[in-house]
Amino acid sequence: MIYLRTFSATLCVFIAANLANAKPNVMLIVCDDLNTHVSTSGYPHIQTPHLDRLAKEGVIFKRAYCQYPVCGPSRASFLSGLYPESTGVFNNKIDIRDTRPGTLSLPQFMKESGYWTGGVGKIFHTVRHEPGDLGWNEYHRFENDEFPFVTEARKQFEAEHGSVERGKNRRRWKEKLQGLFTQTRGQQQPGYGPSGLDDLQHRDGRNARKVVEWLEKKSYGDKPFFITVGIHKPHVPFIAPQKYFDLYPRQKLQFELSPANDWDDIPRMAMVKRFGGFGFELGKENDALRREYTQAYHACVSFVDAQIGLILDKLKSQKLWNDTIVIFTSDHGYHLGEHFMWGKVTLFEECARVPLVVRVPGASQAGTTSDGLVETIDLFPTLAELCGLTTPAHLQGQSYVSLIRKPDGPGKPSAYTVVSRGTQLGRSIRTQRWRYAEWGETKAAELYDLKSDPREYTNLAKSPKHRDTVRRMKTRLVKRQVQAEAARKSPK
């Protein structure tokens, strides 16, 4: 422990010596439903040039994992530094302030530590979940402009029925709109397609431009800033300006096909039937539809990258680049047909693994990569250490500052992810080589050798050859469950 305190103190002095401010600024960028289809995660079929240049000056974490592959629970976890089994948040409706009253959030911690805190977009799951003045000096959520083709259709509707804002017209228009265009479908059948708008007419375009405005006007005053950019995309509907769709001709898209018998050896509780809402069938490829959705998702990713570029450019033009920690990540991953799954809420790599790029002036080694295991829950203590702040004792995450400095380290011994199935939980643990999972009361199990089978096609849980591995991983999983539940009690 003496060594760790000495190391932390030395690092903080080292960072401060390379910053103009006594405390570094922080720019935290969190995407919604972004999987590892970014160039910084080794995905070659995407264009994310601005993330590329951020990565060239920072550290890419190749094995970062969320704790719950759904928006609300994941955000409640990493913004509190607590595992879902301690937050009590297992769906998008639950609020941590009800399940664990008095829990300190990351924005509140930074504000109370002397930072000017600004938030835009989706940070906590909904506006209702946001901490308000307790966490933010300034906070905004924006909306998209109306799509031009929707405007035309609305005017035709109103010419016959009157205003869409009047009485029953509101519901009638909403129902009609969902059937008019692929772009205007609801959550049940996800929408996709070009928006007909420019970047700045999208809410993510507005998010980025509000941050640019703060930096230009120095809204933070004499304080260091903690700005969180909650990027909405690529969450459904997969909507972006036409120019980003043009980057990805459908016929040129490439993806690996899952074995037709993929689910023969996987517990059914591991499955989510969301693929049906997208229009797919289990075990059957629909090439044309997959290309439509994949193109739209990729268009959203490149759109997101362009908005991030505005922020990075402004940090440099305002001469804030060498004073600012920049962290880019996502709340969880997303299936685009892998294992015939679409969407989230599984424990597979596609859902649990997230992109993570970190640049810390004076500490991170430019253009480096880490294979060390980290968890999204580690964000809170990592930022506390980097900013020279006392890490709250109740946090369950662990700082990965050592990996920022020396990316060749091993990271955590394991990463832990859970997801609900009704009233039961599926629990999963990853090590450098293995991924093991158990599902609810049935204890149906999965074991994958990530070294020889990175796509997780072959479940080895029932293999006699791997009994010892199953036993070891099961023991580890039980210990991680106990750790995850340890901070369930609310602060006094």
- State in Å, rounded, how far the first CA of the chain is from the last one: 26
Helix axis angle, 379-386 to 2-17, nearest 10°: 60
Q: For the chain, how many residues are written?
A: 492
Instruction: Show which residues are catalytic.
Output: 71, 125
The answer to whether the beta carbons of residues 40 and 60 sit under 8 Å apart is: yes
SS (H, E, C) the chain: CHHHHHHHHHHHHHHHHCCCCCCCEEEEEEEECCCCCCHHHCCCCCCCHHHHHHHCCCEEECCEECCCCCHHHHHHHHCCCCCHHHHCCCCCCCCHHHHCCCCCCHHHHHHHCCCEEEEEECCCCCHHHCCHHHCCCEEECCCCCCCHHHHHHHHHHHHHHCCCCCCCHHHHHHHHHHCCCHHHCCCCCCCEEECCCCHHHCHHHHHHHHHHHHHHHCCCCCCCEEEEEEEEEECCCEEECHHHHCCCCHHHCCCCCCCCCHHHHCCHHHCCCCHHHHCCECCECCHHHHHHHHHHHHHHHHHHHHHHHHHHHHHHHCCCHHHEEEEEEECCCCEECHHHCEECCCCCHHHHEECEEEECCCCCCCCEEECCEEEHHHHHHHHHHHCCCCCCCCCCCCCCHHHHHCCCCCECCCEEEEEEECCEEEEEEECCCEEEEEEHHHCEEEEEECCCCCCCCCCCCCCHHHHHHHHHHHHHHHHHHHHHHCCCCCCC
Whole-Å CA distances, 110 to 10, 24, 113, 326, 354: 21, 12, 5, 15, 24
109/382 Cα distance (integer angstroms): 13
343/345 Cα distance (integer angstroms): 7
